[in-house]
Amino acid sequence: MVILKLQPEQISRHWDVLREVLTTLVMDGEQLEQKQVTKIAEKLISEQVQCWAVQEQVENEYNLVGFIFTSIVVDAIMEIKNLLLLGLYTLRPPSGLFIWTKSFEKLLLYARGNGCKSIIFYTNVPVLLSMAKKFGANVEYTYGVIPT
């Protein structure tokens, strides 16, 4: 398993694929609109949002499994840095959950190296909740969105 943080030039080169991936992601319970995808593109190029390519080694080849999008955020009140897991996209099912477990281990190293207190995320996907619990996540809270 390999997880690579894409550099801005790699994001530009593979934008057609990444744009398609971003249009399928759900954030705050809704699919992203085109202007939101464009905003994320700007943030990816400026490295305010990170894109991670997750690859699986099969024999002597590396196959792309999916992408993870993150952003380092600072709590405005407590002034604590956290790594926000914005989205996880699977191109194809990996051979096992260990691929995502190993990816989370790498993200933990990245978060610690950048002075983050925690990795935070919003999900209702049972397998992700189960995996997060293995890393000591407290998943007892409910995230709600009230449209205005």
Residue 119 in this model has a pLDDT that exceeds 90: yes
Average pLDDT over residues 26-52: 86
Closest CA to 84 of 143, 38, 33: 143
The tens digit of pLDDT for each residue in 13-35 reads 999 999 888 888 766 666 778 88
pLDDT top residue among 73 and 30: 73
Q: pTM, whole model, 2 decimals?
A: 0.85
Q: What's the mean pLDDT in 103-111?
A: 95
Examine the pLDDT at 95 and tell me if it is beyond 70.
no
| Per-residue pLDDT band at 82 (split at 50, 70, 90) | very high
pLDDT at 10: 95
What is the pairing mode between strands 2-5 and 50-58? antiparallel
pLDDT of res. 143: 75
Q: What is the per-residue pLDDT across 124-138, written as a single tens digit (0 to 9) for each?
A: 777 777 788 888 888
Signed CA dihedral, 102, 62, 114, 120: sign only:
negative
Specify the pLDDT at position 23.
Answer: 85
Between residues 112 and 23, which one has the greater pLDDT? 112
- Inter-residue contact 27 to 86 (CB < 8 Å): yes
